[in-house]
Amino acid sequence: MSTPTTHEHYDVIAIGAGPFNLGFAALSDGLPDFSLAVLEARDSFSWHPGMMLPGTHLQVPFMADLVTMADPTNRYSFLNYMKLHGRIYPFYIRENFYALRNEYSDYLAWAAEQLPSVKFGHRVMDISYQNGRYELSVLTDQGLLSFSATKLVLGTGSEPYLPDSVTSEALGSGAVTHSSEYLFRRDQILAEVPDSQRGKVVTVLGSGQSAAEIFLDLLRSLPEEDHLVWSTRSERYFPLEYTKLTLEMTSPEYIDHFHALPMDRRDALSKAQKGLYKGINADLIDEIHEELYQRSVHGAPNVHLRTGSSLLEVRPAGDTLQVTLRHDRTDEEMVFGTDQLVLATGYRQATDEFLKGISERISYLPDGRFDVDRNYSVGRAQDIFVQNAELHTHGFTAPDLGMGAYRNSVLINRLAGREVYPVEERIAFQKFGAAELEGLPSSILPTTATALD
């Protein structure tokens, strides 16, 4: 690698310009004695462009924007964006807390363009630690540039997960699409098969919101003679739980409770809580059922829903793919052919190769995951922080857009060494863990214990 040219130093460099680091930049904008650069490898902002299906909306209220929950008067709020673009009255009349996904993406792009700290087309290639600062080699259209920072915030996000059971030959067939690329491949997925003597078969694997949105789009778009398969290893198509007392778990005190648990109990709890953040919006489930019901009026639709079924293998079989599933309760295998396969199999934490040069300064758990402290540091010297890489240590609040401003308030206060934004410590009516029941009458307990016969 050639020697970097030029040099820029900042108090903090944030890597990655997703919603959480954009919120960090927005809340840091204009702060005195707090120089910040947000480095993003992409040339422009995009937020899940392959899933911008018409009519889809956020699963959290619009107040889960970049700044509102920390600073309601901030100029980078969603409502200010709507006002500046002449849309605040139509939004008000709509009387719906849930912004459309494409308008929220436009809002994020607008904020990214306004923020002077955000630098697109800056790919971090390598980081080292020298003379009390982090030295970054950054690839740009001007060549390799040098940046340095006293502290780092990692917000590089996640990458699409492709199961090992899908063979490399199947992945190279052109008939397998991850949900993140769905809109870009939609025309191909819907195209007629060369053999017009039979119906097309399209299969969706997964049971989260993305899988449901894609399934409904295909259900409404494929001809009725075609077959549509929707399979998941989950025991059912779980609805996203959004009741008020459950929402209280997206709170500082629940994070305190979760973070204090032993690692094995955190992992077990995370598995049990998937329905709290990976489920399907209940209205969408109703839409799907209504569509199926309407199709059933004149006979059973060519739709096949299977739950509790694990994927064993996907491999090419002539001009199609052969899919093998195993029903987990009966141990029976189901083998069938499909023309197109959509994998709504979610995401995994991105592997950041550029961290290798500073790995000794990062705290890891024995299994290789980040060891994230309560206030989001993974640095042995408390100088490296993470955004949305702490699901295993902080619980399902990690990917929640509504908690982004809270986490950024904690980060900014910690990095600035002062209270820039007040941080709520208790917001829930309930208490988590074995908290003492305060205020109960002391006379309710007997003064002496009586032995039972």
pLDDT tens-place string over residues 289-320: 999 999 999 888 899 999 999 999 999 999 89
Decide if 314 contacts 322 (C-beta within 8 A).
yes
* pLDDT score recorded for residue 452: 45
pLDDT of residue 7: 84
Residue 448 has pLDDT above 60, yes or no: no
Per the listing, tokens 């329905």 go with 275
User: What pairs with residue 316 in β-bridges?
Assistant: 321
pLDDT above 90: residue 198: no
d(CA 22, CA 179): 24
Tokens in use for 445?
A: 């307990």
pTM here is 0.92
The sign of the CA dihedral 176, 156, 50, 399 is: positive
Are 395 and 273 in contact by the 8 Å Cβ rule? The answer is yes
Q: What is the third-level CATH fold of 161-240+278-347?
A: FAD/NAD(P)-binding domain (3.50.50)
> How many whole angstroms separate alpha carbon 351 and alpha carbon 367?
14
Query: For position 6, what pLDDT does the model report?
Result: 66
Average pLDDT, the chain: 93
Which part of the chain is CATH 3.50.50.60?
Answer: 5-157+350-416, 161-240+278-347
- How many Å apart are CA 146 and CA 115, to the nearest integer? 21
| Pair of tokens at residue 406 | 């809270």
The pLDDT assigned to 4 comes to: 64
Tell me the C-alpha distance between 355 and 104, whole Å. 31
| Helix ranges (DSSP H) in 297-373 | none
Q: What percentage of the chain has pLDDT greater than the value 70?
A: 96
For the cut 50, the answer to whether the pLDDT of residue 239 exceeds it is: yes
pLDDT digits (tens, 9 = 90+) for 34-59: 999 999 999 999 999 999 999 999 98
Task: Let me know if 95 is exposed, middle or buried by CB neighbors in 10 A (0-12, 13-18, 19+).
Answer: exposed
pLDDT in tens, 80-124: 999 999 999 999 999 999 999 999 999 999 999 999 999 999 999
For residue range 247-297, list pLDDT tens digits in order: 999 999 999 999 999 999 999 999 888 878 888 999 999 999 999 999 999
Of the chain, the percentage scoring pLDDT greater than 90 comes to 83
| Predicted pLDDT at 354 | 94
Q: Collect all residues with Cβ–Cβ distance below 8 Å to 31 and sequence separation of at least 6.
A: 412, 416, 420
What confidence tens digit (pLDDT) does each residue in 140-169 have? 999 999 999 999 999 998 899 999 999 999
Distances (CA, A) of 19 to 22, 179, 211: 5, 20, 22
Look at residue 176 and tell me whether its pLDDT is greater than 60: yes
Average pLDDT (316-344) is: 95
- Per-residue model confidence (pLDDT) at position 80: 98
CATH of 5-157+350-416, one of 3.90.1300.10, 3.50.50.60, 3.40.50.300, 3.60.70.12: 3.50.50.60
Can you give the pLDDT at residue 443?
73
